[in-house]
Structure 1
Amino acid sequence: MPEIIHPRTRRIDVVEEHFGRSILDPFRWLENNARSDRHVAEWIAQQNAVTQDHLESLSGRSVFRERLTAMLNHEQFSVPVKRGGRYFFTRQSGEDNQPKLILRSGEDGQDRVLIDPHGWSSDNGDALAEWAPSDEGALLAYGVQSGGTDWRTIRVLDVDTGETWGDEVRWARFMQIVWAKDGSGFFYSRYPEPEGGATDTAGVANHAVYYHALGTPQSADRLVYSDPERPQVLHLVERTDDGRYLVIYSTPGAGMNALAIVDLTAPGWVARRLVAGLDEEWSVIGSDGDVLFVLTSQDAERRRIVTLDLADPEPSPVEIVPEDEAVLASAALCGGRILAAYLVDARTEVRRIKPDGTPDGVVRLPGIGSAGAFEGSGKDNEAFFLFSSFDTPITIYRYDVAVDSYEVWAQPQVAADLDRIAVEQRFYRSKDGTSVPIFIVRKRHAAGPAPTLLYGYGGFGISMVPIYNPMHIAWIEQGGVVAIANIRGGGEYGRAWHAAGRFENRQNAFDDFIAAGEFLKREGITPADGLAIQGESNGGLLVGAVTNQRPDLFAAALPGVGVMDMLRYHRFTGGTMWISDFGSPDDEKHFAGLLAYSPYHNIRPRRDYPAILATTADADDRVVPGHTFKYVAALQAEDLGPKPRLVRVETRAGHGAGMSRDKLVSLYADLWAFAAHWTGLKIREVP
Structure 2
Amino acid sequence: MIRHAALAVLLASTALGTSAMAQSPVPAPSMSEAPGGGFATSDATDPYIWLEEVEGERAMAWVAEHNSRSLGTLQGDPRYQPLHDAALAIVEARDRIPTPGFNRDGTVDNFWQDATQVRGLWRKTSLDSYRSDAPTWETIIDVDALATAEGQNWVWRGADCLEPDERLCLVSLSDGGKDAVVVREFDTTTKTFVENGFNLPESKGDATWIDADTVLIARDFGEGSLTSSGYPMIVKRLKRGQTMDQAETLFTGQPTDVSVSANVLRDADGAIQAIFINRGVSFYETETHRLNADGTTTKLELPAKSSINALVAGQLVVTTDQDWTAPSGQEFRAGDVMAWPLEAWLANPATTAQLVIRPGEREAIEGIRATRNKLVMVINENVRGSAYVYTPGAGEWTRERMDLPQNATVSVGSTSQTDDRVFVSVAGYLTPSSLYLADATTTSADVLKSLPAKFDATGMSVDQYEATSADGTKIPYFVVHRDAMAMDGSNPTLLYGYGGFQVSMLPGYSPTVGKLWLERGGVYVVANTRGGGEFGPRWHQAALQENRQRAHEDYQAVAQDLITRGITSQPHLGIMGGSQGGLFMGAMLTQRPDLINAAVIQVPLFDMLRFHKLLAGASWIAEYGNPDIAEERAWIQRYSPYQNLRAGQPYPEVFIHTSTKDDRVHPGHARKAAARMEELGYPVLFYENTDGGHAAGANLRETARRLALEYTYLTRRLMD
Give the number of equivalent residue pairs: 651
In the alignment, what sits opposite 1:662?
701
1:567 is matched with which residue: 589, 609, 619? 609
In the alignment, what sits opposite 1:430?
469
* Greater Cα shift, 104-113 or 39-48: 104-113
Whether 2:318 is the aligned partner of 1:294: answer yes
Whether 2:389 is the aligned partner of 1:365: answer no
Alignment of 1:138-157 (within 5 A): 138-157=167-186
8 Å contact kept, 1:620–1:655: yes
Alignment of 1:33-182 (within 5 A): 33-34=54-55, 37-72=56-91, 73-74=93-94, 75-93=96-114, 95-105=116-126, 107-108=128-129, 110-121=136-147, 125-135=153-163, 136-166=165-195, 167=197, 168-175=199-206, 177-180=207-210, 182=211
Alignment of 1:151-550 (within 5 A): 151-166=180-195, 167=197, 168-175=199-206, 177-180=207-210, 182-193=211-222, 203-214=229-240, 216-228=242-254, 231-241=257-267, 242-252=271-281, 254-262=283-291, 267-275=293-301, 278=304, 280-289=305-314, 291-299=315-323, 300-307=333-340, 309-312=342-345, 313-316=347-350, 318-325=353-360, 326-356=363-393, 357-376=396-415, 380-418=419-457, 421-448=460-487, 449-473=490-514, 474-550=516-592
3-state DSSP of counterpart to 1:391: coil
Deviation of residue 218 (structure 1)?
Answer: 3.7
Letter of the structure 1 residue corresponding to residue 586 of structure 2? G
3-state DSSP of counterpart to 2:369: strand
In the alignment, what sits opposite 2:657?
615
Alignment of 1:625-644 (within 5 A): 625-640=667-682, 644=683
8 Å contact kept, 2:317–2:337: no
Give the unaligned 5+ runs of structure 1: 1-13, 682-687
Question: 1:271, 1:89 → 2: CA distance?
Answer: 37
Is the alpha carbon distance of 1:482 and 1:306 closer, same or farther for their aligned partners in structure 2, counting shifts above 3 Å? Answer: same
Question: 2:615, 2:402 → 1: CA distance?
Answer: 42
3-state DSSP of counterpart to 1:244: strand
Letter of the structure 1 residue corresponding to residue 252 of structure 2? S
Deviation of residue 97 (structure 1)?
Answer: 2.2
8 Å contact kept, 1:206–1:231: no
Is the alpha carbon distance of 1:77 and 1:258 closer, same or farther for their aligned partners in structure 2, counting shifts above 3 Å? Answer: farther
Question: 2:319, 2:404 → 1: CA distance?
Answer: 22
Is the alpha carbon distance of 1:250 and 1:372 closer, same or farther for their aligned partners in structure 2, counting shifts above 3 Å? Answer: farther
Question: 2:202, 2:340 → 1: CA distance?
Answer: 35
Question: 1:220, 1:418 → 2: CA distance?
Answer: 60
Question: 1:494, 1:550 → 2: CA distance?
Answer: 28
Question: 1:165, 1:156 → 2: CA distance?
Answer: 6
For residues 604-640 of structure 1, the C-alpha deviation after alignment (integer angstroms, 9 at most, x for no partner) is 2112211101001111111111111111111001134
Deviation of residue 484 (structure 1)?
Answer: 0.6
3-state DSSP of counterpart to 2:54: coil
Is the alpha carbon distance of 1:53 and 1:658 closer, same or farther for their aligned partners in structure 2, counting shifts above 3 Å? Answer: closer
Letter of the structure 2 residue corresponding to residue 228 of structure 1? Q
For residues 569-620 of structure 1, the C-alpha deviation after alignment (integer angstroms, 9 at most, x for no partner) is 1111211100010000001121111111111100121122111010011111
In the alignment, what sits opposite 2:624?
582
For residues 473-526 of structure 1, the C-alpha deviation after alignment (integer angstroms, 9 at most, x for no partner) is 121111101111011111111222111211011111111111111111221222
For residues 312-368 of structure 1, the C-alpha deviation after alignment (integer angstroms, 9 at most, x for no partner) is 434146133141202122212224222111111222121222113433310122342
8 Å contact kept, 1:615–1:647: yes
3-state DSSP of counterpart to 2:272: coil
Is the alpha carbon distance of 1:268 and 1:386 closer, same or farther for their aligned partners in structure 2, counting shifts above 3 Å? Answer: farther
Question: 1:476, 1:157 → 2: CA distance?
Answer: 44
For residues 23-81 of structure 1, the C-alpha deviation after alignment (integer angstroms, 9 at most, x for no partner) is 831211111122xx211121111111221222133232112112112222233433413
Deviation of residue 679 (structure 1)?
Answer: 0.9
Question: 2:216, 2:437 → 1: CA distance?
Answer: 29
Letter of the structure 2 residue corresponding to residue 305 of structure 1? M
Deviation of residue 120 (structure 1)?
Answer: 4.2
Question: 2:548, 2:712 → 1: CA distance?
Answer: 31
3-state DSSP of counterpart to 2:311: strand
1:557 is matched with which residue: 599, 603, 623? 599
3-state DSSP of counterpart to 2:366: strand
Is the alpha carbon distance of 1:58 and 1:174 closer, same or farther for their aligned partners in structure 2, counting shifts above 3 Å? Answer: farther
* Greater Cα shift, 463-472 or 664-673: 463-472
For residues 130-189 of structure 1, the C-alpha deviation after alignment (integer angstroms, 9 at most, x for no partner) is 3122221222221001112111111122112211113311244243x5333x54344343
% identical equivalent positions: 25
Name which structure has the greater RCO, CA cutoff 8 Å, separation 6+: 2
In the alignment, what sits opposite 1:11?
none
Question: 1:639, 1:536 → 2: CA distance?
Answer: 24
2:50 is matched with which residue: 23, 29, 42? 29
Letter of the structure 2 residue corresponding to residue 27 of structure 1? Y
3-state DSSP of counterpart to 1:77: coil
8 Å contact kept, 1:548–1:599: yes
* Greater Cα shift, 443-452 or 134-143: 443-452
For residues 348-393 of structure 1, the C-alpha deviation after alignment (integer angstroms, 9 at most, x for no partner) is 1212221134333101223422222443256622222333322344
Question: 1:184, 1:409 → 2: CA distance?
Answer: 39
Question: 1:442, 1:511 → 2: CA distance?
Answer: 24
3-state DSSP of counterpart to 1:407: strand
Question: 2:255, 2:69 → 1: CA distance?
Answer: 48
8 Å contact kept, 1:15–1:23: no
Is the alpha carbon distance of 1:658 and 1:84 closer, same or farther for their aligned partners in structure 2, counting shifts above 3 Å? Answer: farther
3-state DSSP of counterpart to 1:155: strand
* Greater Cα shift, 50-59 or 606-615: 50-59
Question: 2:112, 2:588 → 1: CA distance?
Answer: 38
TM-score (normalizing by structure 1):
0.88
8 Å contact kept, 1:59–1:673: no
Question: 2:537, 2:73 → 1: CA distance?
Answer: 43
TM-score (normalizing by structure 2):
0.84
Letter of the structure 1 residue corresponding to residue 179 of structure 2? D
Deviation of residue 238 (structure 1)?
Answer: 4.5
In the alignment, what sits opposite 2:32?
none
Question: 2:119, 2:282 → 1: CA distance?
Answer: 28
* Greater Cα shift, 604-613 or 534-543: 604-613
For residues 169-218 of structure 1, the C-alpha deviation after alignment (integer angstroms, 9 at most, x for no partner) is 1244243x5333x54344343233479x9x9x995154333444445444
8 Å contact kept, 1:256–1:282: no
Is the alpha carbon distance of 1:229 and 1:30 closer, same or farther for their aligned partners in structure 2, counting shifts above 3 Å? Answer: closer
* Greater Cα shift, 71-80 or 103-112: 103-112
* Greater Cα shift, 374-383 or 58-67: 374-383
Question: 1:169, 1:592 → 2: CA distance?
Answer: 42
